[in-house]
């Protein structure tokens, strides 16, 4: 906690993405306050009015549809962390988020991933549209963000071939998408990493780091437990420290 507070002192951190990125946000909010893990129940919750002294800025459609909205923020005198839920890497809604950045304040760190929704919930051309939207999104970030903003593109984490829970609709189950999706994620990760690198954004390969950590993936085949999310926080904070030439604390 002490090192995290010092590293992010007077910094504005924004996290964009799906429920896994929301869990990244939640673990960081916990770590800024205490030496404890976020709980599994906290990771499963969504749209709550307050979580560990943060607050819900905006909420919308509370379903598993592509119109789901959730914006959260944790703010103290010296720390500001904000989360935006995305179901697509580029859209009119994402453009409104980018307008927030233009209006200010601009983030010091922007942590992003959007993949699984993009390639599974938008019809037969989902992958092709994902590639096109990635280019639009990265181009807009390049135009809007200040050069000193540290952009970290998280690659999507390993999926099980047996996905349960509410993410996959009955129609998608019927099409057998669950078995195909883990391989589509690998292909999408390769493309998005290459695209992010071409814009000189940083890439954190969470798929690589967690390929042998599957015991920490929960039963739905998509999400991860508190231990995994603290590992993600360690990876992100270490990456940020190295980018800012701050000595990484020894274990």
Domains of the chain: 2-243 (3.40.50.1110)
What DSSP element (H or E) covers 189?
Answer: helix 177-198
Per-residue pLDDT, 174:
45
Q: Is the pLDDT of residue 143 over 60?
A: yes
Per-residue pLDDT tens for 169-180?
A: 555 554 556 578
Per-residue pLDDT, 163:
84
What DSSP element (H or E) covers 57?
Answer: strand 55-59
Q: Is the pLDDT of residue 21 over 70?
A: yes
What DSSP element (H or E) covers 32?
Answer: none
Q: Cα(11)–Cα(174) distance, rounded to whole angstroms?
A: 46
Q: Cα(75)–Cα(47) distance, rounded to whole angstroms?
A: 17
Q: Is 26 helix (H, G, I), strand (E, B) or coil?
A: helix
Per-residue pLDDT tens for 96-131?
A: 999 999 998 999 999 999 999 999 999 889 999 999
Return the residue matching tokens 């954004």: 201
Please compute Rg for the chain using Cα positions.
17
pLDDT-above-70 percentage for the chain: 93
Q: Cα(235)–Cα(23) distance, rounded to whole angstroms?
A: 14
> Over the chain, what is the mean pLDDT?
93
Question: What is the pTM assigned to this prediction?
Answer: 0.94
């Amino acid at each position: 906690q002490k090192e995290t507070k010092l590293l992010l002192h007077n910094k504005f951190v924004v996290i964009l993405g799906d429920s896994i990125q929301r869990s990244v946000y939640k673990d960081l909010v916990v770590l800024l306050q205490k030496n404890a893990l976020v709980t599994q129940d906290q990771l499963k919750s969504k749209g709550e009015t307050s979580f560990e002294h943060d607050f819900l800025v905006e909420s919308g459609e509370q379903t598993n549809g592509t119109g789901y909205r959730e914006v959260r923020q944790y703010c103290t005198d010296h720390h500001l962390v904000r989360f935006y839920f995305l179901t697509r890497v580029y859209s009119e809604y994402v453009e409104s988020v980018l307008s927030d950045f233009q209006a200010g304040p601009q983030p010091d760190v922007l942590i992003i991933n959007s993949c699984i929704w993009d390639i599974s919930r938008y019809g037969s051309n989902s992958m092709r549209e994902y590639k096109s939207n990635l280019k639009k999104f990265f181009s807009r970030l390049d135009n809007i963000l200040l050069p000193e903003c540290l952009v970290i593109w998280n690659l999507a984490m390993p999926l099980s071939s047996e996905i349960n829970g509410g993410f996959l609709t009955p129609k998608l189950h019927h099409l057998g998408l669950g078995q195909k999706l883990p391989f589509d994620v690998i292909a999408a990760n390769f493309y998005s990493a290459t695209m992010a690198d071409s814009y000189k954004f940083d890439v954190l390969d969470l798929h690589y780091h967690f390929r042998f950590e599957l015991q920490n993936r929960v039963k739905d085949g998509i999400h991860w437990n508190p231990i995994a999310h603290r590992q993600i926080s360690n990876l992100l904070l270490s990456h940020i420290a190295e980018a800012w030439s701050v000595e990484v604390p020894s274990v």
